[in-house]
Amino acid sequence: MAPKVKKEKATKIAPKTDKTYIAGAGLTVEQPIVRTLETNYMPYAMSVIVSRAIPEIDGFKPSHRKLLYTMYTMGLLSGGTIKSANIVGRTMQLNPHGDAAIYETMVRLSEGYQALLHPYVKSKGSFGKAYSRDMAYAASRYTEAKLAPIAAELFADIDKDTVDFVDNYDSTLKEPTLFPVTFPSILVNANTGIAVGMASSICPFNLAEVCNTTIEYIKDNDINIADTLLAPDFPIGGQLLYNRADIEKIYETGRGSFKVRGVYTYDKQQNCIDITEIPPTTTSEAIIEKVVELVKQKKITEINDIRDETGLQGLKITIDLKRGADPEKLIKKLYKSTPLQDSFSCNFNILIAGSPRVMGVKEIISEWVAYRQECVRRRVYFLLTKAKDRLHLLKGLQKILLDIDKAVKIVRETTEEKEVVPNLMIGFGIDEIQAEYVAEIKLRHLNKEYILKRLSDIENLEKDIADMESVLSSRNKILRIIIKELESVRDKFGQPRKTAIVNAEQDLAEQEEIEIDESPVTLFFTKEGYFKKITPLSLRMSGEQKLKEGDKITQTVEATNAHELIFFTNKHQAYKAKVSDFADSKASVLGDYVASKLDFEDGETPVYMVATRDYKGNVLFVFENGRVSKVSLSAYQTKTNRKKLVGAYCDKFALHSVMFKETEGDILLTSTNGRMLLVSSAALQTKTTRDNTGVAVMTQKKGQRIFEVQDYSAGLLPNEHRYRTRNLPAAGSFKPADTAEQLTI
């Protein structure tokens, strides 16, 4: 039965006694939240998606398009630069969102900012840097700009009806809905945006590779894109860790990620490292701050000083090393622990016909080719119409050539000006357009030489018209035009790759093991899932351990920073980490909440911690029904740095407890019926399959379950042989004084 929807109701506030009361004022209207969202929020959300955040197939958002088109109409493709404030002011005729937003758009498109592989704005003055958070751009009244040469490819034939134009916000000007770009600019320059409920993140690719790939796609739609489009290319350079399978997945689905790391050189004389290229997702300040933090935490001990030496030559972060420090090992630590190596996430979300779509590279190229075909077809049709109109006029002029004197006589003998065109039409059998053209010819041009020169164009026009009609009737000819234009763009603006490609698998194989601080620490793990790592010095000077109310310490482990950690959770999963991943703590703080630190799933909590150096030993999973699963710890060792292991233990039975035993020993099981069973872990078969169901150890009747599990040491129970058995499963034995006693659950 459908739920009842509360009817809208209005309560009226009593009007004031004066005569200024307006009817209906003060009404309070109640309506369902769903209707409020539909009427108020959805239009805003769609406006952000369609008109602001998501780029279209020409590679631009509306804010980019309005700025660049304004600069084009100002004639800034040629000549010198002009003040940015002038450009911003003119752009406000198309973009009413304020001068600050327009200027920020110009900054990002400029060559000075270095955010694009092929900037569309040639800049003069301080425009800041994409790789620096603190290097701000100067005010628009101080800087100057014009369009870069490659911007001509955005506006090619824009005045030949290649794209649609619409009114601006106040219907005083026209602006293009798209640019007739001659190359797939959507793939050449990076574009990111956050809309409502969706986002877009398109990485840049090398212009020459994009043009070559598009040409090959036009020739053969079944090509493998990864053969010609090698990998993304970033304006700041860096090294891309290349994995063919990951790249092909991104090319196919439009989603995925890859790693980019910085580039450095080592100055042996100065004993310093100079970082000159960094990933596109970070800034020089973020890297420096992270390095300083690691030095303060003593996770990195090889550094004397770090400073930003960025200047006119470009980015430069200098790290002074201590005497005897190994630069190779240090840089690997920095790659691992700082943004000097970072991931770039791809989400190729593009507006196609007003609707957002996540597409792979081949699909993007296909859509661009279809769009470009329409632009070329409209341009050819426009030129064809102009040529036919010109031919029509020249045909009329050709008839006049037969008797120029007659044409002059008709004009001279016509008494009224408005009768000139009709009389010419009658005298030579031409139409009104042709007669108007003849009537407008200057007297000085009424000679055979001038007219014969004009008539010589007829043959060329007829040939051009035939060629254009042939193009319009043949898709292959249109595609050949597109290929020719792509080759021209590639030859004029192509440049070598800036981002080097490094084989990720080979790099991983050659990477040496990073030296880790071997200093001893004490690990504390609590029932509520909090973790502390405390050094011996801090532990000696500390007082009582601070815990959350109701919490208690369940595990205390002596280890080193080189140990690895495995946290088993209540959802049959395991999360791996390293002791060095956690900062040193104190007894006076709660510590790290493991579920947040390792990004657990909702409702997932840690139940047990294992600290190991060599993955020797076994893990015992004791289930409430009396079964025990013994799994070798080596089953949780992985070659890659995977943090999450699913199926860490059996999910068919309710788990009571987890125990880690480096060597074989006895465990004491106690049931809710009061019976106890002493079992040697050596009697249990070790399994390599993590989620095995184990073996039945202690028999449980209906309503009974395991109550307690503990490590057993000799002498804990009198007559301990009474609680042992040769065969498993077994029911166990009662304590002599507790025979009739039932344990409370």
Q: What's the mean pLDDT when you consider all of the chain?
A: 88
Please report the DSSP string for 528-563 in residue order: TSEEEEE-HHHHHH--SPP--TT--EEEEEEEETT-
The whole-angstrom separation of Cα 248 and Cα 258 is 11
In this structure, the answer to whether residues 467 and 574 fall within a common structural domain is: no
**Residue with more model confidence, 225 or 519:** 225
On the CB side of 414, how many CA atoms lie within 13 Å of its CA? 19
The whole-angstrom separation of Cα 346 and Cα 361 is 11
Q: Which of the residue ranges 283-297, 336-350, 403-417 would you say has the lowest mean pLDDT? A: 403-417
In this structure, the answer to whether residues 551 and 629 fall within a common structural domain is: yes
Residue 53 lies in a domain: no
Specify the pLDDT at position 219. 94
The dihedrals phi and psi of 618, each to the nearest 5 degrees, come to -135, 155
Which range marks the domain in which residue 672 is found? 520-738
Residue 196 pLDDT more than 60? yes
CB-CB neighbours of 346 under 10 Å: 22
Please, which contacts does 296-299 make with residues 24 or more away whose CB atoms are closer than 8 Å? 297/583, 297/584, 298/517, 298/584, 299/337, 299/517, 299/580
Query: What CATH number did the domain enclosing 572 receive?
Result: 2.120.10.90
Residue 443 pLDDT more than 90? no
Residue 741 pLDDT more than 60? no
In this structure, the answer to whether residues 432 and 320 fall within a common structural domain is: no
Domain boundary among 168, 191, 213: 168
Query: What does the longest C-alpha to C-alpha distance in the chain come to?
Result: 143
Domain boundary among 117, 140, 168: 168
Specify the pLDDT at position 3. 47
Q: For residue 68, what is the enclosing H or E element?
A: helix 62-73
In this structure, the answer to whether residues 547 and 644 fall within a common structural domain is: yes
Predicted confidence band at 721 (pLDDT cuts at 50, 70, 90)? confident
In this structure, the answer to whether residues 565 and 704 fall within a common structural domain is: yes
Q: Tell me which residue of 430, 493, 408 sits closest to 151, measured CA to CA.
A: 493
Residue 666 pLDDT more than 70? yes
Residue 351 lies in a domain: no
pTM for the structure as a whole:
0.69
Q: Tell me which residue of 445, 419, 441 sits closest to 432, measured CA to CA.
A: 419
In this structure, the answer to whether residues 289 and 377 fall within a common structural domain is: no
**Mean pLDDT, range 590-615, rounded to an integer:** 91
Query: What CATH number did the domain enclosing 77 receive?
Result: 3.90.199.10
Please report the DSSP string for 439-472 in residue order: HTS-GGG-SHHHHHHHHHHHHHHHHHHHHHHHHH
pLDDT digits (tens, 9 = 90+) for 198-223: 889 999 999 999 999 999 999 999 99
**Mean pLDDT, range 110-130, rounded to an integer:** 95
Residue 665 lies in a domain: yes
Residue 360 pLDDT more than 90? yes
In this structure, the answer to whether residues 571 and 720 fall within a common structural domain is: yes
The count of domains in the chain is: 4
In this structure, the answer to whether residues 568 and 713 fall within a common structural domain is: yes
CB-CB neighbours of 308 under 10 Å: 17
Sign of the Cα torsion 729, 735, 739, 740 reads negative
Specify the pLDDT at position 19. 54
Q: Tell me which residue of 169, 167, 187 sits closest to 116, measured CA to CA.
A: 187
Residue 361 lies in a domain: no
pLDDT digits (tens, 9 = 90+) for 540-551: 888 888 898 889
Strands (E), 195-340: 199-202, 239-242, 255-261, 263-267, 272-277, 303-308, 317-321
Residue 13 pLDDT more than 50? no
Specify the pLDDT at position 683. 87
The whole-angstrom separation of Cα 201 and Cα 182 is 22
The whole-angstrom separation of Cα 113 and Cα 524 is 49
- In one-letter notation, the amino acid at residue 453 is K
Please report the DSSP string for 38-60 in residue order: IIIIHHHHHHHIIIIIS-BTTS-
In this structure, the answer to whether residues 536 and 389 fall within a common structural domain is: no
Residue 201 lies in a domain: no
In this structure, the answer to whether residues 560 and 705 fall within a common structural domain is: yes
Residue 150 lies in a domain: yes
Q: Tell me which residue of 153, 206, 148 sits closest to 182, measured CA to CA.
A: 153
Domain boundary among 127, 145, 168: 168
Q: Which residues are catalytic?
A: 142
Query: What CATH number did the domain enclosing 476 receive?
Result: 1.10.268.10
Residue 544 lies in a domain: yes
**Mean pLDDT, range 339-366, rounded to an integer:** 93
Predicted confidence band at 10 (pLDDT cuts at 50, 70, 90)? very low
In this structure, the answer to whether residues 591 and 701 fall within a common structural domain is: yes
**Residue with more model confidence, 318 or 734:** 318
In this structure, the answer to whether residues 285 and 412 fall within a common structural domain is: no
Specify the pLDDT at position 9. 47
Predicted confidence band at 298 (pLDDT cuts at 50, 70, 90)? confident
Residue 107 lies in a domain: yes
On the CB side of 147, how many CA atoms lie within 13 Å of its CA? 21
Predicted confidence band at 34 (pLDDT cuts at 50, 70, 90)? confident
Query: What CATH number did the domain enclosing 277 receive?
Result: 3.30.1360.40
